[in-house]
Structure 1
Amino acid sequence: MAVNGHVEQADNGDFSVQVRRRELVPADSPLPESWLPLSNLDLLLPPVYPTFFFVYEKPIDIHLKFQSMISALKKALSKMLIPCFPLAGEVVTSPTGEPEIHCNNNGVEFIEAYADIELRNLDLHHPDASVAGKLVPKRPTAVLCLQVTELKCGGTVLSCTLDHRVSDGYSAKMFLDAWAEMTTSGTISAAPTFRRSLLSPRRLGLPDKSLNDLYRVAPPALPYTPRAHEYAGRIYYMKAEAMASLQALAGSSHGTKRTKFEAFSGCMWKAMAKSAGDGETCKMGVIIDGRSRLVDDVRSMDTMARYYGNVLSLPYSESEAKELTCNPLSWVADQVHDFLESRVTTDHFLGLVDWVEAHKPHQLMTSLVYKGTMEGPSFAVSNGRVFQPSRLDFGWGKPILGSCYFPWGVDSGYVMLMPSPVGDGDWVVYMHLFNHQLNMVEAELCDILEPLKLANLMSSSSPICRGGATF
């Protein structure tokens, strides 16, 4: 189903976007109708829609036309939807009141658009103005929504918006990698698995009571913040040498080296604590992928590595803001390491599956989001190191940038790191925080975070000239 011969145009401040075509792309082979339950870990997620997007310069091959790129993408997508058939379905409510996937091959939403702006002028440092509703859809209507936007200069932005109840970041990465492989080679080396029995609960007993502190039964309506207008998104660039310096400062007082992620998370925790009021605490959650913890042999390791769905936990720690600001980064990084070490375990993830089973069919949610920032600053950090944007070559070159856009609508901030595809060891950092928190973070971390500027990432040999005419 497509919108043909109709152009939607929206005036979006500095540039306009035309939707040339909007359609549902089904699998290119008939699929039997079926229903796929969500796993217990899927049921921890509300209906929110994160987006990952990737920016490409104009292809070096001047004979490669945009419509040829679109045709190749859709052809590969229809093939991908045979092994990934749930992504062409719809999330519906089961007879027991829980969400499930109706695998009806309704199709993936595919949007072809045109943006009247050149790549070098695209301000991705302020994604609320340049990305929302322009380079990503305003309201996704399917389990998976893809948008490919041609820029005035011949560059391209490809975005992927997912229903979080069906996909986590690892799953998104797995789909995107396979889609690129299918587009360029006509096949994929490893098909995802939707085998829900991998996350079956154990014999019901008494779930770990500590999980009652991390998760809770959600109220009838999710606690969407009445202060949403006070949030803003920013995207920053972090050089490898800045990260190395931060990691050195975060080194344990006992001589133990902390990971880059622990160092950055500790640094963010300290900066956010400075935005707290007198006597307030500061809460930081860390999104953890549990696939590597749910394996007991080589065979199950391969299967879990291909598992499509949510295998996440969001533990958090809470400390007095004054304690976080007064202690050195090494002390804070130790706190991050210690609370993660107690949660990144097999028992934690197996216990979480059991805990959800004991609380069905209620909607569940993380306590970090529920408590919100009214009691002090609250935010979650996600490590997107599994994303390797350099792998996403669909036949017209590797992207110069990969990032996310996720204003998740709750009274808590969100931060995500992704590796840069052009700088060896560089990082791209997305933040969704209150305006005053962003101001504090920028003031505290001005030595390591730079406002993202696409012109700094463009290759000198690009067909898109930075300072002159576009060819």
Structure 2
Amino acid sequence: MKMVANVVRSEWVVPIHTIEEQKVQLSNLDLLLPAQYVGVFLCYKKPTCISFRQMVSILKLALAKVIVHFYVFSSEVVRNSNGYSEIKCDNKGIEFIEAYSDLELIQLDLYNSHQTVEPNLLPNNNFRVFSIKVTEMKCGGIIIGCNFDHRVADAYSTNMFLLSLAEISNSKPISTIPSFTKSLLNPRNPCFYNPTLNDMYVPIPSSHFKNNIKNLSSINHTKKEPLISRIYSVNAQEIINLQSQTKGTKLESFSAFLWKLISEHTSKMYAQISKSDEQAIITSYSKTCKMGIVVDGRTRLSNNNNNHRSELHNYFGNVLSLPFVTKTINKLNSMTLAKITQEVHGFLEQVKNKQHFEDLIDYVQIHHPQQILAKIYDQGRENGPAFVVSSGQRFPVSKIDFGWGKPLFGSYHFPWNGDAGYVMPMPSTKENGDWIVYMLLNESQLDFIEMEASHVFQPFKFS
């Protein structure tokens, strides 16, 4: 059943205490991200002893209090006189939207998330850093959806914010005071970097980027099959089975499995174009398949100083790198899953160190004022499929309880306009080792994955 969520009211929640207006510089690692919004949404069943209006009141009051600590979420990203982006923190607050849907939670189609989540459950982008939408369902359930500007925060930072919002909603002190000390990510003097970063990142002329949400697909002009998003459940035992076959970590094994599936889809797709055309088959094997995996640098940049480690643990902002690896379809199809997992482990180990992240900070500094973009985003599906895996295993979905129970479901939603696919596995609220996997890929890729790996990827539905 198609969902429609009608907006009932919209208002601005301002900080409970006046915040001194200020401008916060984006760090060099923030500058690696284009102007793109990321969504996150949480579904709650109808509570037994609290009304929707009471829930809204609790959320708005908690939001007014938490903004005092997370003031960069009450802001917008602007250009200064030198043409650099910076965060303008003010007292305008956060847009808070209320909506109503004539559907029950159990009728919600989250499997086809591109049709349900973005147009209904997330607030429209208003060029503020953060906004929130609360939707009341016919059954009395509630869905809380948020959008945030990826230039200002990564998933780690947003998780910190959501946990603090839940703690304040329950009249508890927040457990993590965010740090906005951008000097933790200052470049070295003199700057230098390993030349291998030129294989991972590329400077983009600043003329491509405006002070708004960038349509990244314009960087790569080749018209390709559009990306759509779906959400799947993955049983814990299937993840264990993959890991036992490959001897890698769960994320490495899962990523290798998906990489091999997408490679196989590409070769079969070309074979179906013309089964009698040898050239079509040869072309498929000369194509490549790229896979990137997002790596968090907080623990890698830590040193033996306890205060430094603590500040990086609490640091609010982007501390990410995006290494990727390219293999020909022919090579991938001939490799065992265990061997592919070794390849995944190998390219990740090259960046899981302090040196890499210090080099990355310097790389951005040296190329100022050009925008730096990960090559897998820039080149995308230039010579074959490409996708990025970002682990959401630290998403504390079961802890985001605002006083009426833990969520039935929670997921990130990243419907970006770039050329590469995007996959994010997250823990299920069942807390039994099951995963929820958000996937943004071609429809034909998703159909093939469901057909070939139906034992792993189960279309998500409420039970």
Residue matched to 2:270: none
Task: Give 1:285's match in structure 2, choosing from 292, 310, 316.
Answer: 292
**Structure 2 residue matching 1:263: 3-state secondary structure:** helix
Secondary structure of the equivalent of 1:339? helix
Aligned residue for 1:101? Answer: 87
Corresponding residue number in structure 1 for 2:444 = 436
Amino acid at match of 1:96: N
The match for 1:333 among 338, 341, 349 is 341
Distance in 2, matches of 1:205 and 1:388, equals 37
Consecutive unaligned residues in structure 1, runs of 5 or more: 1-12, 252-257, 456-471
- CA offset digits 1:202-257 (Å, max 9, x no partner): 11233221111111111433444665772111100001111111111112xxxxxx
Bigger Cα displacement from structure 2, 426-435 vs 269-278: 269-278
Deviating 4+ runs (over 6 angstroms): none
Match of 1:67 in 2: 53
Q: Which amino acid is 2:238 matched to? A: A
Deviation at 1:145, TM superposition (A): 1.1
Match of 1:134 among 120, 128, 151: 120
Question: In 2, distance between residues paired with 1:273 and 1:218?
Answer: 29
Shift of residue 132 of structure 1?
1.5
Which residue identity lines up with residue 150 of structure 1 in the other structure?
E
Q: Does 1:39 align with 2:27?
A: yes
Query: What secondary structure does 1:235 align onto?
Result: strand
Deviations 1:360-414 (A, max 9, x none): 1111111001111131110000000111211000001001111111111111100
Identity %: 40
Equivalent residue for 1:111? 97
The partner residue of 2:258 within 240, 254, 268 is: 268
Contact 1:89 1:143 in 2 (8 A): yes
Partner SS for 2:286? coil
Aligned residues of 1:76 and 1:186 also touching (Cα < 8 A) = no
Q: Which residue of the other structure, out of 49, 56, 79, is the alignment partner of 2:37?
A: 49
Secondary structure in 2 matching 1:416? strand
Do the aligned partners of 1:274 and 1:440 also contact (CA within 8 Å) in 2?
no
Partner in structure 2 of residue 15 of structure 1 = 3
The 2-side partners of 1:67 and 1:412 are apart by 41
The residue aligned with 1:247 is 243
What residue identity is the alignment partner of 2:301?
L
CA contact (8 A) 2:37 2:125 kept: no
Separation of aligned partners in 2, 1:127 and 1:212: 35
CA root-mean-square deviation: 1.4
**Partner-residue secondary structure (3-state), 1:177:** helix
Count of residues paired in the alignment: 435
Letter in 2 for 1:261: L
Distance in 1 (CA, whole Å) between partners of 2:439 and 2:67 is 32
| Aligned partner of residue 134 in structure 1, secondary structure | helix
Deviations 1:68-112 (A, max 9, x none): 011111101111111111211111101221110111122112111
How far is 1:167 from its partner?
Answer: 0.6
Contact 2:287 2:383 in 1 (8 A): yes
1:203 to 177, 189, 211: 189
Amino acid aligned to 1:188: I
Counterpart residue number, 1:468: none
Q: 1:140 to 1:443 in 2, by over 3 A?
A: farther
* Matched AA of 2:381: T
State the one-letter code of the partner of 1:145. Answer: S
Deviation by residue 1:125-164 (Cα, 9 ceiling, x = unmatched): 0011111210112334310011111111011111121100
Q: Is the 8 A contact 1:18 1:113 kept in 2?
A: yes
What secondary structure, in the 3-state scheme, does the structure 2 residue paired with 1:131 have?
helix
Asked if 1:80 corresponds to 2:66, the answer is yes
Q: Is 1:215 equivalent to 2:198 in the alignment?
A: no
Q: Secondary structure at the match of 1:191?
A: coil
Equivalent residue, structure 2, for 1:192: 178
Q: Distance in 2 between matches of 1:452 and 1:166?
A: 31
Structure 1 residues 140 and 229, CA, compared in 2 at 3 Å: closer, same or farther?
farther
The 2-side partners of 1:199 and 1:165 are apart by 15
Name the residue aligned to 1:28. 16
Distance 1:84 1:15 in 2: 33
Give yes or no for the alignment of 1:371 onto 2:379.
yes
Structure 2 Cα separation of the partners of residues 125 and 358 of structure 1: 43
- Tell me how far apart the structure 2 counterparts of residues 260 and 37 of structure 1 sit (CA, whole Å): 36
Are the equivalent residues in 1 in contact too, given 2:3–2:120 (CA < 8 A)? Answer: no
- State the alpha-carbon separation in 1 of the partners of residues 102 and 225 from structure 2: 27
* Distance in 2 separating the partners of 1:229 and 1:438: 12
Counterpart Cα distance in 2 of 1:181 and 1:68: 17
Which structure shows the bigger proportion of residues in helix conformation? 2
SS in 1 for 2:178: coil
Point out where structure 2 has 5 or more consecutive residues left out of the alignment: 209-215, 267-283
In the TM superposition, residue 423 of structure 1 has moved relative to its aligned partner by 4.1
Alignment partners' CA distance in 1, 2:224 and 2:296:
28
